[in-house]
Chains A and B, each alone.
Chain A
């Protein structure tokens, strides 16, 4: 096929975005609802009346399901990427992930969603497919190649899982880019800059610090550090735990056994957290199932004491990164803040003191929206990879591997063969031999991490060198080449040097899916068919129009309708009539524009509905009555975020 656009994707813990280079500026591609952020939430619709495979929804529509049918929805799935069963214990304590009952040891964990099971890469693939569709809708052309960002501190398995997800979504992942590095790219489009930059990235679920040197368009990462399980989620969980405990102690109500109430309370906790970034006090005011009200004020000072231990965990990685780069805070010219959690004033104060900014008359960079900057940088990298652009032809990113690579030596110790913060691609060649006469197999255990003992590091894979020609012990000389590629993923090749035979390697990744498994999980391959692409766009556009029109039809029956002004109601009616008149035409774009206009006209109405949904979930109204209250209209703001079209 002709080479299409390469898009940049930020596959985030909380939100995901897709962006591209519009001329010489990176731009986020909005969904059909006009929103740049697609919440990283995936939900399974109730089984259709006629049976069949249930529909998967992504984004804002799925977020509604989090409260209404929490057992059919999942969020923060990024925390599960590339992780084995025995590593999930902590996550399971804090997050409502439900594992499949029939899990076997060594299997990639499967999560229960309603009556179905999905691995984390599959769930991520649904999010990626939604972003792919948003981009295709925007361009009116297929999109098959992408750059996807990952936390810099992601290990090999987490990176591989992300690439697998891309493949399942029908995307060729041209490069995995580290999130902080992407952010630096977004800020560094002005190529005249020379200097040292620190990127402090505190997102929903991960923390990264990267230190880069800029010189003539080359972005050379000096060091990186972080924690792949530290972020805004942890702050939400602290607030949530306090509210749950207080509700239990003061009102005798244990909401923990009500998943939908917990999710609704979680939403209030997130709102409180966000408000505390701009206000001195935030309030919880929630009606409980027994009719009591839980009212609580949280002053910012209390909040800051509460979250201090979480923020403190970012200090060690920052100091280590500076030590590894061989620099002092004074040598850092610019600090870039990335991730929604860096909006918290206490985080900004911490960054200021870590890098001695205020005393040097400096301020961190916050000019670009911290929620969007990573996606914008991914778009810049996508443009670099696509070649053919004047804006980025002089730019080049030289990134590093965040963790040392080692092999298990005698006594369970680790022999490091590639040190952390080595520029990638990086390679190491090691020689192995046999210990017993006639031995034809040698097993090699590869680990990633900084600890002294293999058992304390992260097991990457066990390699079996087979078919070694039988010789006396110690005589064979097997050369094994370890190569970390530009995505930060390990590749291994081996050769027996005395016989010249290429030794056969059997790679058993400790975690992760096999090629065959990934192949079998590829989402609807018909997506690739280009010939009927235009037809598909038109059908989708008409379906979307129908969905929103049906919703708007029912809107006046909702109590929220009365809360709208006459003007608002008239605007909705006008947009509805416009859509009615164009929906049978053959131009997908005209239909889309009219749909979007109607969607925007109904936005406030949708917000009113959402509030109603939250309060009814906490007061314990049944799902049926909640459904009635909401009608279908709650889908009105985002009817087209649906991932499936019939």
Chain B
């Protein structure tokens, strides 16, 4: 988790030693590029914390900052400047990559706000059976049936059989779960708005809903992937 410190804490510029605000990328005194600030991704890209982001403005700001800090601008600069340009740009790129993607952004902000969420990306979503203990209650029956169908389909495939009834059933199931996924995404958007405009209490409620929605989404996505893989095998 990212350490957020008071950005008013002054630090000394490595080049001219004059103290400056930590969140700045360039020393206000000597204009030299500074080490990456201890800012969160929203601060890096000059945004208020929020789930809804103007993507066009985000891209423009990303481009504006890239022009200033990218290593291509420091190819012939001294070692220090090249090092900080590289580190600053890595932070900027990581921030932009996280904030432009709706899911990464949601997870990131939830974590920033202290919510406990499951692991979504970073390779931890290992392939394999979805964890049965996390089956959303309203889907128990359908998931049970789907797993049976998947098993049958795999058996049929391994013996070279073509069972078009089974296949049609799976195609239908896939469609259904895909529409459930779309519904989750809609609900997430509603919660985004609720959080962005709500007070502290509303935000807490919203965060809880989003954590649950993310869990559900992850589960559904794994199901859809399993079906797609079995059908395509």
Task: Give the interface of A toward B (CB within 8 A).
Answer: 3, 145, 174-175, 215-216, 218, 220, 381, 384-387, 396-398, 406, 413-417, 419, 422-428, 452, 483, 485-486
Contact = CB atoms under 8 A, between A and B. Distances in A.
Contact of B72 (A145, A216, A397, A427): A397
A425 B71 contact: yes
Contacts of A387: 73, 75-76
A283 to B, nearest CB: 46
B92 to A, nearest CB: 9
Given A175-B72, A423-B96, A486-B89, 12 more contacts: A174-B76, A175-B75, A216-B63, A218-B67, A385-B72, A385-B76, A396-B72, A417-B122, A417-B123, A427-B90, A483-B86, A486-B71
B90 A425 contact: yes
A422 B123 contact: no
B94 interface: yes
Contacts, number: 74
Interface in B12-53: none
Given A422-B93, A423-B97, A485-B71, A415 B123 contact: yes
Contacts of B134: none
A3 B77 CA distance: 11
Contacts of A415: 122-124
Nearest to B125: A416
Interface residues of B, number: 25
A396 B93 contact: no
Interface string B114-132: 0000000111101100000
Contacts of B63: 215-216, 218, 220, 396
B105 interface: no
For the complex of A and B, the 6 pairs showing the least CB-CB separation, nearest first, are A416-B123, A385-B75, A425-B90, A427-B90, A415-B123, A486-B71
11 contacts: A145-B76, A215-B59, A396-B63, A396-B72, A398-B70, A415-B122, A415-B124, A416-B123, A423-B97, A425-B89, A426-B90
Contacts of A425: 71, 86, 89-90, 93
A384 B93 contact: no
Contact of B86 (A398, A414, A416, A486): A486
B93 A424 contact: yes
B2 to A, nearest CB: 10
Given A215-B63, A396-B67, A427-B94, A384 B123 contact: no
B195 to A, nearest CB: 26
A381 B70 CA distance: 13
Contact of B70 (A145, A396, A416, A426): A396
Contacts of B86: 425, 483, 485-486
Contacts of B149: none
B75 A174 contact: yes
B225 to A, nearest CB: 13
Contact of A483 (B90, B97, B123): B90
Contacts of B122: 415-417, 428
A426 B93 contact: yes
Contacts of A486: 70-72, 86, 89
A511 B126 CA distance: 28
Contacts of B96: 423
Given A398-B66, A422-B93, A425-B89, A413 B72 contact: no
B4 to A, nearest CB: 16
A3 B87 CA distance: 25
Contacts of B123: 406, 414-417
